[in-house]
Structure 1
Amino acid sequence: MTGGGSLGTAPDPIHDAALAAQLLLIAPASFSGIVLRGSSPARDALIAALGDRAKTRKLPGHIDDERLLGGIDLAASLSAGRPVEQSGLLEEAKGGLLIVPMAERIGDAIAGRLAQALDRGDLALVLLDDGAEREDTPPVSLMERCAFHCDLTHSRASTTDDLEASHAPDLDAVQPLEDKALEALAATAAVLGVPSLRPLMSAGQAARAHAALSGRTRASDADLTAAARLVLAPRATQLPPLDEPQQESQPPEPPQDRGDEQRDTDTKRPDQPLDEMLVEAASAAIPADLLAQLAKGQAPRQTSGSGSGQRRKSGIRGKPLSARPGMPRGGARLALIDTLRAAVPWQEVRRREQPDASVGAILTRKDDLRVRRFEEKAARVTIFAVDASGSAAAARLAEAKGAVELMLAQAYVTRSEVALIAFRGDSAELLLPPTRSLTRARRALAELPGGGGTPLAIGLNAARETAQSVIARGRSASLVILTDGRGNIAADGSPGRKQAREDAEAAARAIAREGIDALVVDISARPGSDAPALADVMQARFLALPRADAKSLHSAISAMQPAHAAA
């Protein structure tokens, strides 16, 4: 198997995606769904093939609860003069597949409704993930329930003919997995860092479904291997240890085609334990980009928002949300259709109470009023706090200046702003208030001061106060502290390393208490232990970048900034 190899030698991922789709069709309620990441012609062909094999419905982008769950058909009710019920999309998709385009944009409310339908076994989901970044994923509640995660980003196929079934597999005819097989799957999940029990149960079902697909009544090693590859490998959060027993004495395996379902015992070396074989198979199937992240020690994050800023409710602009009861005042706008939909069921009762009302009039009351809601992303402000003291000040300031300019260059795309604080001597100065203006930034950064003592505590306090000011105005704030962590000026401006260290730790704890996202970057020529200790007290991320240039600093900050979930 060569799933973790280069793109030039690895089989096209569409083959595993098609195999996962076949297993999903055998027991949709057991597997709950499949996630297909990355738009490609092969994905379109796979979705079309699924439509030929099962009943499918598509989830509209801005669906409301009435359309999703069922309710009043407003047009038919107004025409008939009485409430007319309509079935919901979940009911229409019952027993089939619900295709969800742009699944990374699903709101929490809709995700909750879909998760409930999955738990009841009403349907299965086909989540189409088109997120630009790996952090842009569908909601965790749905990702956790969907058994199969397939990344087709690097697929080069234009069609797929792997979804043809020669017979109707009977899952009930396959015997339950033996304890040895269950223990091997559990050991594989533990080695790959898969903490949840849902994927483990899905892997067991996948092994049985793969056996049924192959016409077997008992799951073989090949079925367990396919289950580990399709269910556990895409969820890996760590790499297996390199110093496994007997690994050095084992001869290298020739590459094999992951699309071939008849691997059986060919992949298993003589006397190789079952759990080791499954770990090896799953490791080889980890997608290349995920493998690169794990190799760098970066576990994937499951989030529901992008790194541009927190999401907040708004009454005037942003992504449309479902309407809510309320008065159209204070900038909130009336949701006319939702208001009428709330009033229609009560018309007969109200006409008996108001017999003199005009024929054909819709009788509405205050309780019927609905207002529009929107969700907008708050602007993110990255606050650089730069140690401008000592002989390294010129290098640090030059790097910070370049990184600020690079971040501002993409400000209009990411809705971000940048601020810059420099601390030296016995004070800290806000050189650049939060701004998106590249011209203004260049003018402020043209001549930066440098040299003198290191008032680390004063700089951290100034950064915290600036972040608090930003958050108070409804924006998201993150701190980037560029320092070696060795302060020699106390918070009151007096010299002394001991007091300076205590004051810096107190300032760092204050940042941690506020819950402000922070990153400590040690760009000294010889990183020591002071900066990591400061980051630990601050509950911040730490990054050592000796001799960093502006581009590498900007890349590191962009990679380390977390994606915020919905506020």
Structure 2
Amino acid sequence: MTGDGAHPVPDSGSPPLPRDPFALAALLLAIDPTGLRGVVLEGPTGPAPELWAGRFRELLPGRPPWRRVPTGITVDRLVGGVDLAATLALGRRVLLPGVLAQADRGVVVLPSAERLPPEVASPLLEACDRGRIRIEREGISDDLPARVAVVALDEAREGEAPTPEALRDRLAFLLPLPPRWTPEGLEGWNSAHIGTARALLADIELPDSLLRQLTVQADGPEGPVSLRPLLHALRAARALAALCASNPLPSETLARIAGALVLSPRGFPLPEEADGAESEDSGDQSSPPPQEPDSEAPGSEPAPPEPATREAPFAPPPAADSAATPSTAPGSDSPPPTGSEDDVPGSLLLPAEIARALLPEGLLEGSRTRGRSIRAAPGTRGGGELTRSHERGRRVGAEAGTPGRGRRLDLPATLRAAAPWQAVRRREAGATDGAAPIHLRIERSDLHVQRRVRSATRRTIFTVDASGSQALRRLGEVKGAVELLLADAYRRREEVALVVFRNREAHIVLPPTRSLTRAKRLLRGLVGGGGTPLARGLETAAGLATEATRSGTRPRIILLSDGRPNVDREGRGGRSLARSDAMAMARHLGASGVPLMVLDTSARGEPFLNELAEQMGTRAHHLPYADARGIRRAVSHDAEAHP
């Protein structure tokens, strides 16, 4: 049916709107995929994300492009580059569009979005912002359309970094999908319904009151962190208005539902809080709550209680004769009605319930970070510092160079560099058509090697005092703590090394390794006794740290000692010389910038270790009664504070 003969209006017999906010988000995104930009599906690997994506794909009219970005994709495959076969055939550079350009006016599915490397995230952000992708590489310059919607599958576990905040900010919906989610409420909905709503989308006009209501919700004490969530909420409200054109919703209800779907998962106030309802729960604060506009003067009859429909799980459907046609419906000149949650159709959840479904448990009451998605805490990005490598790591491109000394030949890049010159080189070599078989001529200037990056490996160097004084007190506890710390380092795929000093020498009992079994075996055979050559132990640990730095590994030294040196660097006895040499080595380590941790394992605390730690630029942790697990906790807390 049509509203005024010119604009199609959804049939009044259309399926009811879904009660499930995840299903409702799929409908809205299908109506305006390039405007809403996409969705982040948060949850563990399982059938639910694939089920949501598959149902969303079925809703899209016209079978648009659907591209799945492989994990570990390179920039040239994502953006575009030289078409090697066509270039060899034509003798000139021919562009091969990447995944983003191939998915123009379609959808890009991004698995393991929490592991998205920066070089892959950057083109995605450009496509979201511009709807186009600029190619400037390998002698090719072009600007291709890339109007895509992104379905990012965020499988980050608790404590892990989520999808990059820059990408989350550009996508409208952040959906914490339950592991056993099913598409309830989408029965009967198909691409024909979505196509009809799309036809109405351009004619939807949102009133200024809706914009003001969403702006109040998205505003913070210092203004909005980003305007994108507000724009997403406006587009979601417009898509919802197009979906409900045959039974229009009041503008206030549109704003509440759009705010619950888009703004609440980003930590903005819930819809009830945006219009002052939060003040009702703040009577115990030091400042009195603001007076409600309908409050009665003293002595008058109390105002009637708020209707129970606000507390009910679902609001009843509005009466058929009370549904006014807002200006959001094409061809209507009547002003938009103002409404409340009483105007929400019975098939829909209340806005507060939508927000509760999309917020992690325990975050409805309490502080929030306005404008920043809940899971994306500041500074939680990536898997540590990256370092360049030619031998191992993630391939991020190629560069001109000669293979050898660990540098691997990048054959595709080499062929792409040589392809445009083949006709010229054959002519220079005197070859003519039919005179000799055509073959590829590669010169030294064409050679390219792989460019890779990898997470900088950390090497933890345990420097353990096994002298007689330590053995009499706490060597057993120290051995247990080191064994636990070795297991922690193994789980983080860190290298571990063990330096033991006793008598007059320091020995590398365990060279840098990732073998947990070997480390435990050597540690259990550790015996104590003899003098305390602390300076020799620090010197040996400093040597291992220097080797680690030269190889691109980040070292960390953990010293466990009772702080009673009595053997100097030359192996001579004497407490005064031993302390002087230990202080000199401490100053050397402090100047090197290597992270250090000093654990005082003495019974009453040794002042000398405080002085030693001060020269190293750190402090000593006195653990008089801590067992092996207590020592382990101290080390773990220090690692978190100084990553």
TM-score range relative to shorter protein: 0.5 to 0.7
SS at match of 1:173: coil
Counterpart pick for 1:95 among 105, 124, 137: 105
Pair 1:142 & 2:216 matched: no
Alignment correspondent of 1:111: 121
Counterpart pick for 1:229 among 264, 273, 279: 264
In 2: Cα distance, 1:509 partner to 1:562 partner: 25
User: Does the aligned pair in 1 maintain the 2:460–2:494 contact within 8 Å?
Assistant: yes
Alignment correspondent of 2:522: 443
In 1: Cα distance, 2:317 partner to 2:420 partner: 56
Alignment correspondent of 1:36: 41
Alignment correspondent of 1:330: 405
Per the TM alignment, residue 114 of structure 1 is displaced from its structure 2 partner at its CA by: 2.2
Identity %: 32
Alignment correspondent of 2:552: 474
User: Does the aligned pair in 2 maintain the 1:393–1:451 contact within 8 Å?
Assistant: no
Aligned positions of 1:188-337 closer than 5 A: 197-198=225-226, 201-215=227-241, 216-217=250-251, 220-232=255-267, 245-246=282-283, 285-286=359-360, 301-305=379-383, 311-337=386-412
When normalised by structure 1's length, the TM-score is 0.67
SS at match of 1:384: strand
Counterpart pick for 1:344 among 419, 434, 439: 419
Aligned positions of 1:361-400 closer than 5 A: 361-377=439-455, 379-385=457-463, 397-400=475-478
Cα deviations by residue, 1:292-332 (Å, 9 ceiling, x for unpaired): 999xxx966422226xxx54443344444433222223343
Bigger mean CA deviation after superposition, 429-438 or 83-92: 429-438
Query: Aligned in 2, Cα 1:386/1:90: closer, same or farther, shift over 3 Å?
Result: same
User: Does the aligned pair in 1 maintain the 2:506–2:540 contact within 8 Å?
Assistant: yes
SS at match of 1:60: coil
User: Does the aligned pair in 2 maintain the 1:384–1:421 contact within 8 Å?
Assistant: yes
Counterpart pick for 1:419 among 474, 480, 497: 497
In 2: Cα distance, 1:326 partner to 1:48 partner: 45
Per the TM alignment, residue 22 of structure 1 is displaced from its structure 2 partner at its CA by: 4.7
Query: Aligned in 2, Cα 1:442/1:281: closer, same or farther, shift over 3 Å?
Result: same
In 2: Cα distance, 1:544 partner to 1:480 partner: 14
In structure 2, give the amino acid aligned to 1:74: L
Cα deviations by residue, 1:45-93 (Å, 9 ceiling, x for unpaired): 1111232344321112343444333333223444566655432222112
In 1: Cα distance, 2:465 partner to 2:365 partner: 36
SS at match of 1:187: coil
In 2: Cα distance, 1:259 partner to 1:413 partner: 51
Counterpart pick for 1:155 among 169, 179, 188: 179
In structure 2, give the amino acid aligned to 1:94: D
Per the TM alignment, residue 433 of structure 1 is displaced from its structure 2 partner at its CA by: 4.4
Per the TM alignment, residue 282 of structure 1 is displaced from its structure 2 partner at its CA by: 8.0
In structure 1, give the amino acid aligned to 2:411: L
In 2: Cα distance, 1:247 partner to 1:534 partner: 51
Aligned positions of 1:530-541 closer than 5 A: none
Cα deviations by residue, 1:121-172 (Å, 9 ceiling, x for unpaired): 33332222334663354455534544544444x5232555559577447486
User: Does the aligned pair in 2 maintain the 1:140–1:304 contact within 8 Å?
Assistant: no
User: Does the aligned pair in 1 maintain the 2:55–2:183 contact within 8 Å?
Assistant: no
Per the TM alignment, residue 39 of structure 1 is displaced from its structure 2 partner at its CA by: 1.3
Per the TM alignment, residue 557 of structure 1 is displaced from its structure 2 partner at its CA by: 5.0
Aligned positions of 1:486-525 closer than 5 A: 507=586, 511=590, 514-517=592-595
SS at match of 1:327: coil
Structure showing greater radius of gyration is 2
Alignment correspondent of 2:149: 124
In 2: Cα distance, 1:495 partner to 1:156 partner: 69
Query: Aligned in 2, Cα 1:126/1:367: closer, same or farther, shift over 3 Å?
Result: farther
User: Does the aligned pair in 2 maintain the 1:343–1:368 contact within 8 Å?
Assistant: yes
Query: Aligned in 2, Cα 1:138/1:203: closer, same or farther, shift over 3 Å?
Result: closer
User: Does the aligned pair in 2 maintain the 1:70–1:89 contact within 8 Å?
Assistant: yes
Pair 1:173 & 2:205 matched: yes
In structure 2, give the amino acid aligned to 1:341: R
Alignment correspondent of 1:63: 73
User: Does the aligned pair in 1 maintain the 2:462–2:558 contact within 8 Å?
Assistant: yes
In structure 2, give the amino acid aligned to 1:380: R
Query: Aligned in 2, Cα 1:524/1:148: closer, same or farther, shift over 3 Å?
Result: farther
In structure 2, give the amino acid aligned to 1:174: L
SS at match of 2:267: helix
Alignment correspondent of 1:241: none
In 2: Cα distance, 1:261 partner to 1:231 partner: 29
User: Does the aligned pair in 1 maintain the 2:41–2:151 contact within 8 Å?
Assistant: yes
In 2: Cα distance, 1:59 partner to 1:159 partner: 24
SS at match of 1:57: strand
Query: Aligned in 2, Cα 1:344/1:416: closer, same or farther, shift over 3 Å?
Result: same
SS at match of 1:204: helix
In structure 1, give the amino acid aligned to 2:522: R
Query: Aligned in 2, Cα 1:304/1:452: closer, same or farther, shift over 3 Å?
Result: same
SS at match of 2:442: coil
Per the TM alignment, residue 369 of structure 1 is displaced from its structure 2 partner at its CA by: 1.9
Cα deviations by residue, 1:222-278 (Å, 9 ceiling, x for unpaired): 5434433222379xxxxxxxxx9436899xx9998799999x9669xxxxxxxxx99
Per the TM alignment, residue 432 of structure 1 is displaced from its structure 2 partner at its CA by: 4.7
Per the TM alignment, residue 19 of structure 1 is displaced from its structure 2 partner at its CA by: 4.7
User: Does the aligned pair in 1 maintain the 2:88–2:422 contact within 8 Å?
Assistant: no
Counterpart pick for 1:186 among 219, 223, 226: 219
In 1: Cα distance, 2:381 partner to 2:415 partner: 36
Q: Which structure 1 segments of 5+ residues have no match?
A: 1-13, 235-243, 268-276
User: Does the aligned pair in 2 maintain the 1:32–1:147 contact within 8 Å?
Assistant: yes
SS at match of 1:97: strand
Query: Aligned in 2, Cα 1:460/1:224: closer, same or farther, shift over 3 Å?
Result: farther
Alignment correspondent of 2:323: none
User: Does the aligned pair in 2 maintain the 1:140–1:302 contact within 8 Å?
Assistant: no
Per the TM alignment, residue 204 of structure 1 is displaced from its structure 2 partner at its CA by: 1.4
Query: Aligned in 2, Cα 1:543/1:57: closer, same or farther, shift over 3 Å?
Result: farther
Query: Aligned in 2, Cα 1:443/1:481: closer, same or farther, shift over 3 Å?
Result: closer
Per the TM alignment, residue 387 of structure 1 is displaced from its structure 2 partner at its CA by: 7.6
User: Does the aligned pair in 1 maintain the 2:505–2:533 contact within 8 Å?
Assistant: no
In 1: Cα distance, 2:575 partner to 2:315 partner: 69
User: Does the aligned pair in 1 maintain the 2:468–2:528 contact within 8 Å?
Assistant: no
Per the TM alignment, residue 43 of structure 1 is displaced from its structure 2 partner at its CA by: 0.7
In 1: Cα distance, 2:387 partner to 2:419 partner: 31
